[in-house]
Each structure stands twice: as structure tokens, then as C-alpha cells.
């Protein structure tokens, strides 16, 4: 009888360990996919650096050199097996910050202003599309503009806070965006919320089938 109980306990223990390992592996895969997607987005953004800004040949050459230098440093960082995950993230964030600062230093004040204008125009286009799709009133549009401005400033403050670790910035930014969504949802009617959620779910299905 004791042998049977021991065997059963051993089986339960092994099963429990297997479940924990499976969960850890799934989480690691999820984190890896997130990092790869984030890296891909950042590379696309910086490889398209200066698009529409009429960069000079000198600026283009320097930007290409900065991006190449960054890629080589990231490659060396990935090959360093002595780093903990925490150290890797810190150094990765430092390299990303370094690249961003170097690229921005190439731009003239006029080009920087153009980037700001382009960003604002994209936000306006998104809001206009949202207004048309959900049939928003002018009052709703104005409220959403105020919300977007308020929470964008909060995100900017987090990103520029050098006292925060990359993980803290990520968590705080996610929390701010979550609060932003809640604030915008409060502006919409039940019918508008339902329609927006249906559109969002349809886009997810379309992406999954591609």
C-alpha cells in the first residue's frame, strides 16, 4: 500500500513539475515573440529614418552608419552568454537610446518640427477615420483629442524618465494605455463600443488567417 501511495505521489509530483515547466516555456516563448516583434518594429522605424524629410546625402550616410553600428552591437550583445536577462534588457535599452539620440542629432530643427507635424497629422487621420466609422459627434471628437493629448504626455514622461528600468517603463506605459482606452470608452455610446469591438475582432481574425 505504501509503495502504491509513493508511486502516486511521485506521479503527481512529476506531472506538477511538467506543468510548471510547460507554463514557463510558454511564457518564455511569449516574451521572446514580444521582443522579436518589438525589435522588428524598431528596426523598420529606424531603417526608414528620415523618410519624407529630404535628408542630405551626408545625413543619409551617417544614419546608415549609425544603424549598422547598432546592429553590430546588438549582435555582440546577443552572443554574450554571461549576461543575465536583466542585464541584457538594460544594455539593449541603452543601445536603443544611444541609436535614437545619435539619429536625432543629425536632424535640423526644421526636420524635427516636420516629424512632429507628421505625427500630429497621423493622429488626426486616425481620429477622422474613427469619427466617420463610429459616427462620432464633434463633442466626442474634442473629448477624445483632450484624452489623447493628456495620456500622450504621460507616456512621454515615462519614456524620458531615466530613473526607471526598461521593464518599469514597459509596465507603466501599458498601464497608461489601458487607462487611456478606458477614458476613450467612457466617451462612446454602447452602440459605438459594440461596433468598434466588432471591427477590432474582425481585424484580429483577418490577421490570423493571413
Q: pLDDT of 42-90, one tens digit each?
A: 555 555 677 778 889 999 999 999 999 999 999 999 888 888 888 888 8
- For the chain, what is the HEC assignment? CHHHHHHHHHHHHHHHHHHHHHHHHHHHHHHHHHHHHHHHHHHHHHHCCCCCCCCCHHHHHHHHHHHHHHHHHHHHHHCCCCCCHHHHHHHHHHHHHHHHHHHHHCCCHHHHHHHHHHHHHHHHHHHHHHHHHHCCCHHHHHHHHHHHHHHHHHHHHHHCCCCCCHHHHHHHHHHHHHHHHHHHHHHCCHHHHHHHHHHHHHHHHHHHHC
Q: How far apart are CA 145 and CA 121, in angstroms?
A: 13
Q: How far apart are CA 32 and CA 16, in angstroms?
A: 24
- Is the pTM here over 0.85, yes or no? no
Q: How far apart are CA 17 and CA 11, in angstroms?
A: 10
Check whether 157 has a pLDDT greater than 70: yes
Q: Where are the domains of the chain?
A: 111-210
Q: pLDDT of 20-52, one tens digit each?
A: 766 666 665 655 555 555 555 555 555 567 777
Tell me what the mean pLDDT of segment 120-141 comes to: 90
Amino acid at each position: 500500500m505504501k509503495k502504491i501511495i509513493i508511486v502516486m505521489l511521485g506521479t503527481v509530483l512529476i506531472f506538477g513539475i511538467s506543468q510548471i515547466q510547460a507554463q514557463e516555456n510558454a511564457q518564455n516563448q511569449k516574451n521572446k515573440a514580444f521582443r522579436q516583434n518589438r525589435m522588428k518594429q524598431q528596426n523598420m522605424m529606424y531603417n526608414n529614418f528620415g523618410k519624407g524629410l529630404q535628408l542630405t546625402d551626408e545625413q543619409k550616410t551617417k544614419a546608415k552608419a549609425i544603424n549598422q553600428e547598432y546592429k553590430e552591437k546588438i549582435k555582440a550583445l546577443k552572443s554574450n552568454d554571461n549576461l543575465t536577462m536583466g542585464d541584457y534588457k538594460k544594455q539593449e535599452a541603452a543601445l536603443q537610446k544611444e541609436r535614437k539620440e545619435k539619429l536625432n542629432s543629425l536632424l535640423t530643427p526644421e526636420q524635427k518640427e516636420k516629424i512632429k507635424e507628421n505625427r500630429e497629422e497621423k493622429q488626426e487621420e486616425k481620429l477622422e477615420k474613427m469619427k466617420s466609422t463610429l459616427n462620432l459627434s464633434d463633442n466626442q471628437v474634442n473629448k477624445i483629442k483632450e484624452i489623447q493629448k493628456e495620456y500622450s504626455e504621460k507616456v512621454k514622461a515615462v519614456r524620458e524618465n531615466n530613473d526607471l528600468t526598461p521593464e518599469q517603463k514597459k509596465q507603466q506605459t501599458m498601464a497608461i494605455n489601458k487607462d487611456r482606452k478606458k477614458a476613450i470608452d467612457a466617451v462612446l455610446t454602447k452602440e459605438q463600443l459594440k461596433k468598434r469591438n466588432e471591427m477590432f475582432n474582425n481585424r484580429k481574425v483577418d490577421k490570423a488567417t493571413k
